Amino acid sequence: MFNPHPIPLPEFSLSRNSPGGLGEDRSGDVVALIVRMAKGDGDALTELYCMWSPILLGSAFRTLGDRHEAEEVIQDTFIRIWHRAADYDPEQSPPFAWAFAMMRGYCIDRLRYRHRGKRDSSRVVPLHLNAPPEKTEDTQVMALDDWRRVRAALDILGTNERSCLELAVFLEYTHSEISDYLGTPLGTVKNRLRRALEKVRNHLSRHEF
């Protein structure tokens, strides 16, 4: 039987190596893990958990500012990944973006819950993080056509530009943190991000979103 808490969450830091190409899975290794998970392979979930939990935990911690809450969000995210593995379609979105969207959704739920609590401290509103999603919930990161346009825009970037943009967008790293993470001068990082954004903006301006 699958254990929803297979291993302890590791410590995270900016120096930890992240899986290459957060926005893509060019080797197909991650998709293969998800396929195995859809067939009930708990070891595949553990592999994915080891690969992504430090990255997602860092982002959740940045959003929530609370280590314990961030850990709970990551556990809930991987439980949902496990249950939704059979529904995943790599043609709709890359695997990391799919998982990241789930994690962000849990973070937003937590922030909304905090806000409600501040507005009315006398009212306790239960938060059922593991409740089934509403039928109207969009399980994809974005519409297929939109994702293809964004992916095409990313494909025109050089490797260095793309790495900087992915760290800024997916993990919300600051310029200084990207500089430290990549061991690249701050000025170079800013220039790469500026060029990357200009290229993506120019490419997407040809389409209506």
Both tokens assigned to 40: 């009930």
Domain final residue, candidates 98, 130, 162? 130
Which range of residues forms the domain containing residue 205? 142-209
| Cα 174–chain centre separation | 16
43 and 102 assigned to the same domain: yes
Query: Of how many residues is the chain composed?
Result: 209
Looking up tokens 């991987």 gives 78
Q: Structurally, how many domains does the chain consist of?
A: 2
Question: What burial letters (b/e) apply to 30-52, b meaning 16+ CB within 10 Å?
Answer: beebbbbbeeeeeebbbbbbebb
The pTM (predicted TM-score) of the whole model is 0.57
99 and 181 assigned to the same domain: no
Dihedral sign, Cα of residue 104, residue 95, residue 19, residue 179: negative
Whether the CB-CB separation of 31 and 25 falls below 8 Å is answered with yes
Does 13 fall in a domain? no
Does 162 fall in a domain? yes
Helical segments of the chain, H only? 29-38, 42-64, 67-84, 95-119, 144-155, 159-170, 175-182, 186-204
Does 6 fall in a domain? no
Domain final residue, candidates 130, 150, 169? 130
36/39 Cα distance (integer angstroms): 5
The residue type of 108 is: I
Does 137 fall in a domain? no
Predicted local distance difference test score (pLDDT) of residue 83? 94
Does 91 fall in a domain? yes
As averages over each run of 10 residues, the pLDDT of the chain (209 residues) reads 46 41 71 94 93 87 88 94 93 85 88 68 44 41 58 81 81 82 90 90 71
Question: What CATH number does the domain containing 158 carry?
Answer: 1.10.10.10
Number of neighbouring beta carbons within 10 Å of residue 18: 19
Question: What CATH number does the domain containing 103 carry?
Answer: 1.10.1740.10
Both tokens assigned to 208: 């209506």
Looking up tokens 């825009």 gives 153
Does 8 fall in a domain? no
145/152 Cα distance (integer angstroms): 11
114/106 Cα distance (integer angstroms): 13
158 and 120 assigned to the same domain: no
- In 3D, which of 148, 182, 151, 183 has the Cα closest to residue 164? 182
